Chain A
Amino acid sequence: MISVSDLRKNFGAKAAVDGVSFRVERGEILGFLGPNGAGKSTTMRIVTGFLPPTSGSVRVGDFDVEEQPVEAKRLVGYLPENAPCYSDMTVSGFLGFCGEARGLRGTRLKGAVGRAIATCFLEPVAHQSIDTLSKGYRHRTCLAQSILHDPPVLVLDEPTDGLDPNQKHEVRSLIRRMGRDKAIIFSTHILEEVEAVCTRAIIIDRGRIVANGTPGELKGRAGGAGAIVLRAADRGGAALRPFLDKLEGCSAVELLEEQPAVLRLRPKDASAASALAARVHETAVREKWKLVELRIEEGRLDDVFRSITLPDSAPGQKS
């Protein structure tokens, strides 16, 4: 549905987006991650046709955004950063305008506005002027505008920014639900959100894509990923250590706590982690340790994020 190829955008001498390419199909939810100023919003503005690219192209559906902007924009719902709304209108008036501008009329318009208001939980404020609304409501009003015409493509720039935890949860489940039959791009700073919602994530830094994969794949790139942690209730850590050191495929054993014993084993190879865990278990059974915990560490997305977007990391590292 969305295909971005070799997108570049310069503001003066500064390259805000520097050769970004990706595709998003129906049923995919693409998370856009990156530090502030990495080029996320600029990329989204180009995809929605608000900014023209310096070079490269964006296709939405069958249309090139620069060559057939009106046709392309018809397919897209867009929630801009900071969720701007016409604050001198009421919520339903604002949604009515957006629907009309998208070619909805009469009962279809009414139905669409009603559905959007219900989906975004705006009933209590439907006839209130937007400038009297709290930030959460205003944000959801703008979100309602983006889903009003049931577009096949959604571009959401920080859809959960400024919402309280309940609202965040609602918006996330809404995105997940809509992601079944739409192509969605959304940007966020919150990494748990990516794990909770996305089918795929892109990390962008200084205008370039530095990582692209499922949340699971990205987590696998964390330094701690694949390590095995075990906790035994009845022994001291030092007593267990000699057994673990001898295990095949284990490169290092760290003692995290002595009593009760908590140890971390690093496998020689991250893919062999589960085999190593099985061996740890066999040993524990044979030696009759009272094992209360045995798990493989998944790796944390923020470790990955930090390690690839910190200024001293190697730029342009691709997955």
Chain B
Amino acid sequence: MSTCFGNIRSVAKRELSGAVSSPVAYVFVVIFLLLSAFFTFMIGGFFERGQASLASFFGWHPWLYLFLVPAVGMRMWAEERRSGTIELLLTLPLTTWQAILGKFLAYLTIIAVALALTFPVWITVDYLGAPDHGIIAAGYAGSLLLGASYLSVASFTSALTRNQVVSFIIAVVICLFLILCGWPPVLDLLDRVFSPAAVDFVAAFSVMTHFESIRRGVLDLRDLLFFFSVIFFFLFATQAVLRARRAG
């Protein structure tokens, strides 16, 4: 068991060192911080709301992640395949799962760092008013789960192809589907055509509905279960793809 974690840790460490020595990690963190500040204060109307909450901050995360997470995750397997290092990685005494989890955790760390660096927003809102810190903490947790879900999608699409651009586009499309099937304008549209039960069924697949309820501070087991099952599903799909491509 300890070798299992050790293996995951070695892979994660390698992947992180690769990401840190290339511009990928920095570009992701900086762009994420710039855009999240821009959307929160300029477009989200943080001040105009007059509320001591980070609703305008977290509300943009599904859209920010939509492009940024697939961009940071697209090299995960595609790059290994292109450069041939996948042959090294998969002939080391590791299981495929350990490699997948190691890589996944490495990129999740980058997302977590970017998210942690948004702390000035929290300080700002605390300075200006008296926010509910529990809700904000829940918002951060929800945001990380959201990022992790997109990352698992990126892991899957990255394993599909050696071309990073193709991997990026497919990941964005899948993530967009996960957003749109619960976005109120789309749900309204569906509501006119289908029965409420059918609309609820579609909405249940959306990260939006689950993310919304977590960031309101409602930590429902079902929402957590949803995110974990999305992550597990796409990581499992990654493993299936790697296995299938191995078989030739």
> B-contacting residues of A (Cβ < 8 Å)?
9-11, 45, 48-52, 69-71, 73-74, 76, 78, 80-82, 84-89, 93, 97-98, 100-103, 129, 142, 145
Contact = CB atoms under 8 A, between A and B. Distances in A.
Given A80-B88, A84-B87, A103 B3 contact: yes
Given A88-B21, A88-B22, A101 B92 contact: yes
A275 to B, nearest CB: 52
Given A52-B247, A86-B85, 11 more contacts: A49-B91, A71-B93, A80-B88, A85-B85, A86-B14, A87-B83, A93-B17, A97-B10, A100-B10, A100-B13, A101-B92
A177 B3 CA distance: 32
By Cβ-Cβ distance, the 9 closest A-B pairs, closest first, are A84-B84, A100-B10, A74-B93, A73-B93, A80-B87, A101-B92, A97-B14, A88-B18, A48-B91
A70 B87 contact: no
Nearest to A41: B87
B67 to A, nearest CB: 23
Interface of B: 3, 6-7, 10-11, 13-14, 17-18, 21-22, 83-85, 87-88, 90-95, 246-248
A89 B15 CA distance: 10
Contacts of B18: 86, 88-89
Contacts of B87: 45, 50, 78, 80, 84
B208 to A, nearest CB: 36
Contacts of A93: 17
Contacts of A97: 10, 13-14
27 contacts: A9-B248, A11-B248, A48-B91, A49-B91, A50-B90, A50-B91, A50-B246, A51-B246, A73-B92, A73-B93, A78-B87, A80-B84, A80-B87, A82-B84, A84-B88, A85-B85, A87-B83, A88-B18, A88-B22, A89-B14, A98-B92, A101-B7, A101-B10, A101-B11, A101-B92, A129-B21, A142-B88
Binding site of A, secondary structure by majority: helix, strand, loop or mixed? mixed
A52 B96 CA distance: 14
Contacts of B11: 101
Contacts of B21: 88-89, 129
B83 A84 contact: yes
B248 A51 contact: yes
Nearest to A142: B88
A84 B94 contact: no
Contacts of B91: 48-50, 73, 76, 78, 80
A41 to B, nearest CB: 10
Nearest to A52: B247
Contacts of B7: 101
B215 to A, nearest CB: 36
Contacts of B14: 86, 89, 97
Given A70-B94, A89-B21, A100 B6 contact: yes
B10 A89 contact: no
Contacts of B83: 84, 86-87
A52 B92 contact: no
Contacts of B95: 69-70
A80 B83 CA distance: 12
**Residue from A50, A52, A71, A76 with most neighbouring chain B CB atoms (10 Å):** A50
Contact of A103 (B6, B84, B90, B246): B6
Contacts of A45: 87
A233 B91 CA distance: 61
